[in-house]
């Protein structure tokens, strides 16, 4: 665990210290981003924060390669190499997007290229997390893997609409997934606790936490395309790797893992971004618009329209993300007689907080009606 904590700290400090540098660079060299009607910030804000996040990821992975504890992961370095190349593509594409605002189809091609790089370097989904259904066709394996990667990157992108929202939810998801991956590794071996997914989530947790103080409202910098795609990539490869571990060819090594964990957890970790992505696609397709076009119909927009302040919306979505993501792990590992009632109580509390403005308006209407 100490080695993982070291990586979290290194990624955190790198991202935290590099973000102000990128803010200065963005303010001086990048064109001023106009404030749009759907935006909540009041002044133009630079968008190069994702470069700092990627810097934290790169340095964290680089340090891990020099730590003996992680040598088991780096013996077969192809998956790591694929992640590093994918991050490089994202870095170039993200900076270009901040400079010249790339068309959506160009960014989609870049995302597919990242997915193909990951596939080429050995990360493939060979079994679906539904009854251990194996995918026998190599072509279908590639297609499903690329879809998971592209979908996850866009899911994170769609939720990046309020100061600190994407970074905070990503940190919560990374922390939860790290705990699960680490515990999974301890069940597999009594000697080697190193795990690819745990390594990816550890550096992601540090990098997003390091960026968050600069991005929380009022944000002085945004992560931009670089940040959201990098976060989505690491979530995707972590999910693919841990799902492949539990359900793939070596599934017998994971026979002591709760059967429902690999099915639910990858979805639960980023359920809010995926839900927002799905609703956005349905909403925009119904209006005969491109699924990649921007609008003001995301979950965070609706919560603001409900009556919450932007900062309150971020905190509420943090609570929902933590509740959903941690629930799977807590209920599976703790005494369910205690965990389930506490979880139900937490669910009710967060629900009441979410709908509080509507409840207050209903109460005010009832008082006015009673007064008349």
Q: What is the pLDDT of residues 219-263, one digit of tens each?
A: 889 999 999 999 999 999 988 887 765 444 444 444 444 444 544
Name the pLDDT band for 277 (thresholds 50, 70, 90): low
Q: Side-chain half-sphere of 138: how many Cα atoms within 13 Å?
A: 3
Per-residue model confidence (pLDDT) at position 234? 95
For the chain, give the number of residues.
372
Greatest extent of the chain over all pairs of C-alpha atoms, in Å: 77
Q: Long-range CB contacts (< 8 A, 24+ apart) of 84-90?
A: 84/58, 85/117, 85/121, 86/114, 86/117, 86/118, 86/233, 87/54, 87/57, 87/58, 87/230, 87/233, 89/113, 89/114, 89/117, 90/54, 90/114, 90/225, 90/226, 90/229, 90/230, 90/233
| CA 270/CA 255 separation, integer angstroms | 25
Residue 239, helix vs strand vs coil? helix
| CA 129/CA 266 separation, integer angstroms | 10
Dihedral (CA of 207, 201, 128, 260) sign: negative
Residue 316, helix vs strand vs coil? helix
Tokens of 301: 């927009």
Q: What is the pLDDT of residues 297-311, one digit of tens each?
A: 667 677 777 778 888
Domain ranges of the chain: 2-274
Question: How many other CB atoms are found less than 10 A from the CB of residue 28?
Answer: 8
Per-residue model confidence (pLDDT) at position 41? 47
Region 201-222 average pLDDT:
94
Contact criterion met (CB below 8 Å) for 163 and 310: yes
Sole residue written with tokens 């992640």 = 83
Per-residue model confidence (pLDDT) at position 55? 97
Q: Which residue did the predictor score with more confidence, 107 or 185?
A: 107
Per-residue model confidence (pLDDT) at position 208? 97
Q: What is the pLDDT of residues 92-142, one digit of tens each?
A: 999 999 888 888 899 999 999 999 999 999 998 887 655 556 788 899 999
Q: What is the pLDDT of residues 10-40, one digit of tens each?
A: 999 999 999 999 999 988 876 556 655 445 4
Q: What is the pLDDT of residues 352-362, one digit of tens each?
A: 998 888 888 77
Q: How far apart are the first and last CA of the chain?
A: 65
Chain mean pLDDT for the chain: 82
CA-closest candidate to residue 67, choices 10, 16, 123, 122: 10
Per-residue model confidence (pLDDT) at position 176? 85
CA-closest candidate to residue 235, choices 72, 76, 67, 57: 57
The pTM for the full model equals 0.83
Q: Which residue did the predictor score with more confidence, 187 or 203?
A: 203
Find the helix or strand (DSSP H, E) in which 281 lies: helix 271-286
């Amino acid at each position: 665990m100490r080695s993982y904590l070291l990586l979290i700290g290194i990624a955190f400090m790198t991202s935290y210290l590099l973000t102000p540098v990128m803010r200065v660079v963005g303010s001086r060299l990048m064109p001023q981003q106009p404030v749009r009607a759907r935006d909540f910030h009041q002044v133009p804000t630079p968008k190069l924060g994702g470069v700092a996040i990627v810097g934290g990821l790169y340095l964290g992975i680089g340090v891990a390669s020099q730590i003996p504890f992680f040598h088991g992961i780096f013996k077969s370095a192809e998956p790591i190499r694929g992640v590093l190349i994918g991050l490089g593509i994202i870095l170039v594409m993200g900076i270009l997007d901040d400079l010249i605002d790339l068309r959506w189809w160009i960014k989609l091609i870049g995302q597919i290229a990242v997915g193909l790089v990951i596939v080429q370097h050995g990360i493939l989904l060979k079994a679906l997390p539904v009854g251990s259904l194996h995918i026998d066709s190599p072509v279908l394996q590639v297609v499903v893997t690329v879809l998971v990667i592209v979908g996850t990157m866009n899911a994170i992108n769609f939720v990046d609409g309020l100061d600190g929202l994407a970074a905070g939810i990503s940190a919560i998801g990374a922390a939860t997934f790290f705990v699960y991956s680490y515990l999974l590794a301890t069940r597999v071996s009594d000697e080697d606790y190193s795990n690819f997914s745990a390594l990816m989530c550890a550096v992601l947790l540090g990098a997003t936490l390091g960026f968050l103080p600069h991005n929380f409202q009022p944000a002085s910098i945004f992560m931009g395309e670089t940040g959201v795609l990098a976060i989505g990539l690491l979530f995707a490869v972590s999910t693919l790797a841990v799902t492949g571990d539990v359900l793939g060819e070596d599934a017998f090594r994971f026979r002591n893992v709760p059967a429902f964990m690999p099915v639910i957890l990858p979805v639960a970790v980023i359920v809010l971004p995926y839900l927002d992505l799905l609703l956005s696609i349905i909403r925009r397709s119904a209006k005969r618009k491109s699924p990649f076009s921007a609008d003001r119909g995301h979950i965070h927009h609706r919560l603001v329209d409900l009556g919450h302040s932007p900062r309150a919306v971020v905190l509420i979505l943090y609570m929902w993300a933590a509740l959903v993501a941690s629930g799977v792990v807590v209920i599976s590992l703790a005494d369910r007689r205690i965990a389930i009632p506490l979880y139900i109580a937490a669910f009710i509390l967060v629900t009441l907080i979410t709908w509080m403005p509507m409840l207050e308006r209903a109460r005010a209407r009832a008082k006015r009606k009673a007064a008349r």
